[in-house]
Structure 1
Amino acid sequence: MKSFQRKWEGLEVTIITVIVLLLLLLAYLNWAIAVLALIIVVAAYLVNYNTLHNRRRLAREQFGAMMKNVTQASNFALQNLPMGIVLVNKQGTLVWNNSVFADWVTVDWNKLQKMSALLPGFRIDKIWGKSGYMTEKYDERYFQIIYKFIDPRDTRPDIHSEDELAEHAVMALYFKDITALEKARIKAEEDQPVWGMIQIDNLEELTKGLSDREYTSVWADINNIIMDEIDRYEGFIRNFQDDMYTFAISRGALHEMEENGFKVLERIRKLPSPRQVPATISVGISENVGSVKEVSSRARAALDIALGRGGDQVCIMDGESTRFFGGNTAGVEKNTRVRARVVSQALHELMLDSDKILVMGHKREDYDALGGIIGVVAIARTLGKELRIVLSKETSAIDKMVTVLKEDEFWTEHIITPDAAKAWVDANTLTIVCDTHRQEMVAAQEALEISERRIVIDH
């Protein structure tokens, strides 16, 4: 605007100079006509000046009004649009917030306010200097927080040092209330069905030698508790053998069962028994998302793991993690072959879900440890899995057997040192430990700590 004004004023000077020169020339030729021309020029200039002055004044007023409206609109947007806005310094302290954020989150400006005190999950060191978004909960509200680093050097070229940058830089946080959307997502997640299987561990032992009436009474007592437990959580359950059930409940109901500690196990144990043997059940649950065939297969595998651990417990398989509840009794095993079957089947299922398998025993391996390793390796080889066997540096007790094994090219290629195991293993590697349950005793402790999926086979 000022540049345009300067250009226009320069043009005026030029025009006036030309007019004066022309008037002087005209006066030289005829002074009377020159006087008349001067009067006309002055009158025209005054009229034109007044018109231009009014137009400039009107333009300034309109531009000023427009800037005022833009400023008011910006202030209104900052303070009243449905988005909370916060500025935070490098220490995580609130520098400024708009009124919308103040309506959502209680801010006491009489005290030094830390964002971490308002939002416990907030960590300024995790986002400082970055841009992105995250979700946080405050009271009963869920917020999507879009964060952006405001670099003062964009407007302050005089800032050079890191200390000056830290003093003047801020993070802008934009809070969007997504409570309704997040609650709908959580509800949809909690409503997802999970599949499970239940087995009465010792029905044969409980009812051995009983009459048909007594058998029916014992079975009915157990059945009623199982049915009542699933009905209580609005689930679906069917009994397809005398001692076997399949059921489906919501994910939310499963979490509620976990919070209550699966009281059904205790209710079953407290049932009176004619043979003075406590009844127990085992439960396998798959919390995975997948086809009905996949989740039912995982539920069966979870049940087999629960049985293999002695029964009277719940095993929940969720992705790569497995959770257990119960297991308060000594456990009832029908016979050794059953235990061997369920353990081997569970081992088989876990191996199928793994790309890499690491097998080890304890330090100073003996023939028990080596025998367990050989058996596990045999199963893994039939599945065509990539595997390694790690032996400690102290194998004097089994050197002769190791020498015999290494006559086979497979064993020569796949036996590695603890250091090599540490480099080879990753978090998703299935690590199987034989003949010890103490972490400090394993052949490759550092490799074991890296792996998050572990199986311990010990007697």
Structure 2
Amino acid sequence: MKKETFGKFVLLVCILQILSFLFLNKWIAVGILIVANAFLFQMYIRLRRWQKISDQEKIRMAARVAQDNSQYLSDKSPSMIFIYNEQKTVEWMNQNALQLLDKYDQDTWQKYLVGLLDQEKDQGLLRLPEDTLTYSLDRTKRILFLYNITDQEKAKEKQRQIQPAIGIIAIDNYTDVIDKMGDKEISYLNSLLTTIVSDWINEYHIFYKRLNAERYFFVAHAEDIKKMEDEEFSLMERVRNATEDQPLPLTVSMGIAYGTESLAKIGEVAQNNLDMALVRGGDQTVLKSSSEDTKPKFFGGTTAGTAKRTRVRSRAMSTALKNIFNEHNDIYIMGHRFPDMDAIGSAFGVACLADFQGKTNYIVIDENELIPDVERCLEEIHKHEELEAKLITVDQALKQITKESLLVMVDYHKPSLSISQPLYEKFEKVVIIDHHRRGDEFPSKPLLTYIESSASSASELVSELIQYESSRKKQMDKITATLLLAGMIVDTKSFTIRTSSRTFDVASYLKINGADSGIIQYMLSTDLTSFLEISELVAYSEFITSSIVVAAGAEGKLYDSVTAAKTADTLLSMNGVEAAFVITNRKDGKVGISARSNGKVNVQKIMEALEGGGHFTNAATQIAGKTVNEVKAMLYNELNELDQVKERTAE
């Protein structure tokens, strides 16, 4: 009988007793009372005895369940369970946990498992030499649960290894090399290239097809690409070595993509990767997953870029830019932060092109972020009302741009380097004109991209476009020609580096149009203060190797980017120096590195490793939140990696 039932029965008896006193004889009622209470007492004794037996049975049942569960956890539970004490010593473990410790050694608990207790995370992944496990910690009860997911991880890894991959191989300068060859020599060269490519691809047992004389296509798995990556895509070096005796050695570039997306998407990314490799100057491989949130990897790039742009391409770009200008009424032109003469010159050159089309145009500039050269340049610009009227501040631009406004980025392509990031983000339509090797950071959907890493400067590219657009009625003014020539002189170090016949043709064209050498000399002159700062930085320089020199400025002193760049140029001009790096505190609060090379060291790759970029022989980076000494240590680490690569190559 349950307690609730007994209570109801007692209530009923009490009611009967009350009724008997009201309606029956008193003695009969007393008798009923005695009998009823005796019955109730007897029932109460039985209920207590039954309750005691029931509680004992429950205890025995609970003990049996606990024992069964404990036996299950110990023998059959798929997870591994460790119960530990305050000293992090195991007090109990189930059979699976015991097998885990037996599989390795007695130090496993201390080396791996105790390490989990010292972490703040209560859940995560634990990788042992032969197993991968997930873990969950109950710190209150001091219980550690482990679950073996080794088989699942192996299946995932296998799935990653067999992801489809597509690669496109391009002979960078094939047309230039065969231009003066006879049919027999061309046939021999084609046979040589096919043999080299075929031998390399057959090492990985993958399918390939020759598309034409200068393009190859292959399909592989991600694990094959990983093997190629481990060997740093040795095809590039093989082709370079096999054709080094040619008057113009051949180089190859590759664009490779892999992933879980459709083959159409993977192929598209592979083509984009190849385009990026070619834009960066060729002789390199760009590898990237087809997933949009991954960054590309760059390999090679050990030779300076080969000039690939043609007059046909330049004229096509001129026509395309003209059509884009005709579709927009207001055009904004912006260079990078702390613009140099090339950024200023190319900006006014683009403004000249917009004037040819009768379009309103503005040049965005922040006069709080100017280097001495540009300050003197602006002094000259302020003397010409028609050019001064084009200058506009960031705040003014933010107030007047519309959705139909066009932004032309000159001398840079990384949005983060814009004079104003918020202003850049306001534009939906963007055109890029640049001569730096393309990096990972890039506008999502530019209307036109004109990036030629083989050009000496953005000013050279813009000057060529002006050549194609100019006529008797459309003439470039003298001050614009002067600014463009100044930009070319700065980026070529007075025509000593990165020049081609096209560079001198453009310079001649600018001189014909009235470029003033006297004004250029004034704008690019060095004052005594800057000269002393350069001398000071040179005094701080030290050789890291027999041919690489690094100069680091004092921690508390600020330098402008021109002083750092001129110091690097000065160091590079010294006998025996193949590469120079100058580290300084900048006025924007960052630490900058200005890097220069004579062509034997790819300073662009070193700067890209430090989130920068540039050219094979001229590059830079700006690093926030670090001291000069910390950046110096980061640079030394990259230079040490470079030195090790050289040693391996020599071996």
**TM-score, structure 2 length as denominator?**
0.46
Shift of 1:297: 3.4
Do the aligned residues in 2 keep the contact of 1:94 with 1:113 (CA within 8 Å)? no
One-letter code of the match for 1:367? M
Do the aligned residues in 1 keep the contact of 2:126 with 2:132 (CA within 8 Å)? yes
CA distance in 2, matches of 1:399, 1:102: 78
Do the aligned residues in 1 keep the contact of 2:88 with 2:114 (CA within 8 Å)? no
Bigger radius of gyration among the two: 1
Task: Note the aligned Cα RMSD (angstroms).
Answer: 5.8
Shift of 1:281: 1.0
Residue 135 (structure 1) aligns with: 125
Distance verdict in 2 for CA 1:389–1:242, change over 3 Å: farther
Shift of 1:402: 7.3
CA distance in 2, matches of 1:447, 1:338: 42
Residues 203-236 of structure 1: CA distance to partner in whole angstroms, max 9, x if unpaired?
3454454443432232122112223333433433
Is 1:298 the counterpart of 2:294? The answer is no
Shift of 1:195: 2.5
Is 1:177 the counterpart of 2:148? The answer is yes
CA distance in 2, matches of 1:246, 1:51: 93
Distance verdict in 2 for CA 1:110–1:305, change over 3 Å: closer
Is 1:229 the counterpart of 2:200? The answer is yes
Is 1:113 the counterpart of 2:110? The answer is yes
Residue 157 (structure 1) aligns with: none
Shift of 1:197: 1.4
CA distance in 2, matches of 1:313, 1:97: 58
Residue 350 (structure 1) aligns with: none
Do the aligned residues in 1 keep the contact of 2:365 with 2:419 (CA within 8 Å)? no
Is 1:333 the counterpart of 2:307? The answer is yes
One-letter code of the match for 2:389? E
Do the aligned residues in 1 keep the contact of 2:284 with 2:299 (CA within 8 Å)? yes
Do the aligned residues in 2 keep the contact of 1:238 with 1:245 (CA within 8 Å)? yes
Shift of 1:103: 2.4
Distance verdict in 2 for CA 1:306–1:429, change over 3 Å: closer
Q: Secondary structure at the match of 1:124?
A: coil
Q: Secondary structure at the match of 1:321?
A: coil
CA distance in 2, matches of 1:390, 1:289: 45
Is 1:370 the counterpart of 2:341? The answer is no
Structure 2 unpaired stretches of 5+ = 18-26, 319-332, 354-362, 400-416, 426-439, 444-450, 452-456, 459-490, 492-560, 566-581, 594-607, 619-651
- Report sequence identity in percent: 22
Shift of 1:258: 0.9
**TM-score, structure 1 length as denominator?**
0.62
CA distance in 2, matches of 1:447, 1:377: 33
CA distance in 2, matches of 1:211, 1:93: 80
CA distance in 1, matches of 2:366, 2:81: 56
Q: Secondary structure at the match of 1:270?
A: helix
Shift of 1:276: 5.7
Shift of 1:264: 1.7
Shift of 1:399: 2.5
Distance verdict in 2 for CA 1:399–1:227, change over 3 Å: same
Residue 309 (structure 1) aligns with: 280
Is 1:265 the counterpart of 2:236? The answer is yes
Shift of 1:81: 0.6
Distance verdict in 2 for CA 1:114–1:197, change over 3 Å: same
CA distance in 1, matches of 2:420, 2:387: 19
Residues 406-440 of structure 1: CA distance to partner in whole angstroms, max 9, x if unpaired?
73587654499x999588899x9759998689886
One-letter code of the match for 2:93? N
1:145 to 128, 135, 148: 135
Residue 396 (structure 1) aligns with: 375
CA distance in 2, matches of 1:185, 1:376: 52
Do the aligned residues in 1 keep the contact of 2:236 with 2:283 (CA within 8 Å)? yes
Do the aligned residues in 2 keep the contact of 1:388 with 1:415 (CA within 8 Å)? no
Residue 199 (structure 1) aligns with: 170
Q: Which has the higher contact order (CA 8 A, sep 6+)?
A: 1
Q: Secondary structure at the match of 2:303?
A: coil
Q: How many residues align?
A: 395
Do the aligned residues in 2 keep the contact of 1:202 with 1:334 (CA within 8 Å)? yes
CA distance in 2, matches of 1:393, 1:453: 23
Shift of 1:295: 3.5
CA distance in 2, matches of 1:111, 1:439: 46
One-letter code of the match for 1:328? T
Structure 1 unpaired stretches of 5+ = 19-27, 151-168, 345-357, 380-386
One-letter code of the match for 1:104? L
The residue correspondences of 1:44-443 to structure 2 (distance < 5 A) are: 55=50, 58-79=53-74, 80-86=76-82, 98-99=93-94, 100-105=96-101, 113=110, 115=112, 124-125=119-120, 127=121, 133-147=123-137, 150=139, 169=140, 172-271=143-242, 275=246, 277-287=248-258, 290-318=261-289, 319=292, 320-334=294-308, 360-361=335-336, 363=338, 365-372=339-346, 392-394=369-371, 395-400=374-379, 407-408=389-390, 412=394, 413-414=396-397, 421=420, 430=442
Residues 219-262 of structure 1: CA distance to partner in whole angstroms, max 9, x if unpaired?
12211222333343343322222101222322222122111221
CA distance in 1, matches of 2:351, 2:156: 44
CA distance in 2, matches of 1:177, 1:371: 64
Shift of 1:360: 5.0
Do the aligned residues in 1 keep the contact of 2:364 with 2:391 (CA within 8 Å)? no
Q: Secondary structure at the match of 2:60?
A: helix
Residue 468 (structure 2) aligns with: none
